[in-house]
Amino acid sequence: MEPLVTVPIIDALFMPAERSVAPRRLLNAIRESCFARGVEIRTGVHVDAISPNTIHFAHTTMQAASIIIASGVWSGEFEGLKPRIPISPRKGQILSLAMPAGAFRRMIRWGHSYFVPRSTGELIVGATNEDVGFESAVTPAGLGRLLTDALAISSDVGSYPILETWTGLRPATPDELPILGSTALPGVYYATGHYRNGVLLAPITASIVTDLVEGRDPSIDIRPYSPSRYS
C-alpha cells in the first residue's frame, strides 16, 4: 500500500474514507467565495471590545445585528463579555518536506505524528502539542521530535528537502470541546475553542452559527458546548 513505510508494524487500521484538506488553500477558496458574494472582509484590524450590537476597534465602532466571537486563543479576552470562557493556547509545530512524485499517497498516523501527502508534492509532518502559553517559536526540540518520528515512519524521508516549518496556537478548552452559543449580550455568540479540530468542524460550526443567528434551533443539540458550562 505504502511501500516506503519502514516502521515495523504489528497491526494497522486502514480507513479508506480518510481525506484531508490544505487549510491555506481552503481559506483562499472561502475568501474567493466570500468576495464573489459581496462579503466585505477587513483584515489587520484589532477588535478592542464588544458591546450590544457594536464592535469597537481603532477608536471607531461598527454596528452589527449579530456578532460572532471566533478569535481563536484570544476569544476570552474581551472585557465585560459574559460568560467568561477559559481558552488556553496549545502550540503546534509542523513542517513540510518535498517528496518525490507519488512517494506517499495516503495519510499515515503513527503514535503522536502523522504524514499528510499533498497533490502538490508536499509531505506534511505534524505535529507537536505543547502547553507553553502564547510562545510560538519553532524550536530544535519540536522539529527534532517531528523529524525523529518522520524517519521512524519511513527512513526514505531522510533525503527529502525541508520546505517549510511553522507553528500555530490551538484554542483549547478544559474539556477539549468547542464553545458554541449565545453570550449574555443579545446578538453576540461564541464559536470558538475547537482545539485540534477547527478545520474539520468549520462546516458544522458555520451551520450551527447560521441557525443561531437566524433564530432556528440548530440541527444538533449544542448544550454540551454551552458557553456557560464553566460558570
Ligand X SMILES: Cc1cc2nc3c(=O)[nH]c(=O)nc-3n(C[C@H](O)[C@H](O)[C@H](O)COP(=O)(O)OP(=O)(O)OC[C@H]3O[C@@H](n4cnc5c(N)ncnc54)[C@H](O)[C@@H]3O)c2cc1C
Provide the minimum distance between the beta carbon of 8 and ligand X in the complex, in angstroms, as a whole number.
Answer: 26
Q: How far is the CB of 44 from ligand X (least distance, A)?
A: 9
Q: Is 178 in the site for ligand X (CB under 6 A)?
A: no
The amino acid that residue 95 corresponds to is L
Which of 47, 132, 143, 152 is close enough to bind ligand X by CB under 6 A? Answer: 47
Cell of 100: 518525490
To the nearest whole angstrom, how small is the minimum distance from the Cβ of residue 92 to ligand X? 3
- DSSP, collapsed to helix, strand or coil, labels residue 46 as coil
Tell me the C-alpha distance between 123 and 156, whole Å. 12
Q: Which is nearer to ligand X, 12 or 200 (CB)?
A: 200
Candidates 102-110, 144-152, 188-196, 206-214 — which segment interacts with ligand X by CB under 6 A?
188-196
Residue of 77, 100, 79 whose CA lies nearest to 87:
77
The stretch among 11-19, 43-51, 134-142, 218-226 that binds ligand X (CB under 6 A) is 43-51
- Told to check if 170 binds ligand X by CB under 6 A, we report yes
Q: Does 70 bind ligand X (CB under 6 A)?
A: yes
According to the binding rule CB under 6 A, does residue 126 interact with ligand X?
yes
Helix (H) or strand (E) holding 95: strand 88-98
Residue 173, all three cell numbers: 478548552
Among positions 194, 209, 212, 227, the unique one binding ligand X when judged by CB under 6 A? 194
113 binds ligand X (CB under 6 A): no
The answer to whether residues 85 and 192 touch, using CB atoms and an 8 Å cutoff, is: yes
Close Cβ partners of 56 (under 8 Å, ≥ 6 residues apart)? 47, 48, 49, 50
Strand ranges (E), 82-200: 88-98, 108-110, 113-117, 122-126, 162-172, 179-182, 188-192
Name which of 73 and 157 has its Cβ closer to ligand X.
73
Residue position matching grid coordinates 524517519: 151
Residues that bind ligand X (CB under 6 A): 45-47, 70-72, 74, 92, 94, 126-127, 168, 170-171, 192, 194-200
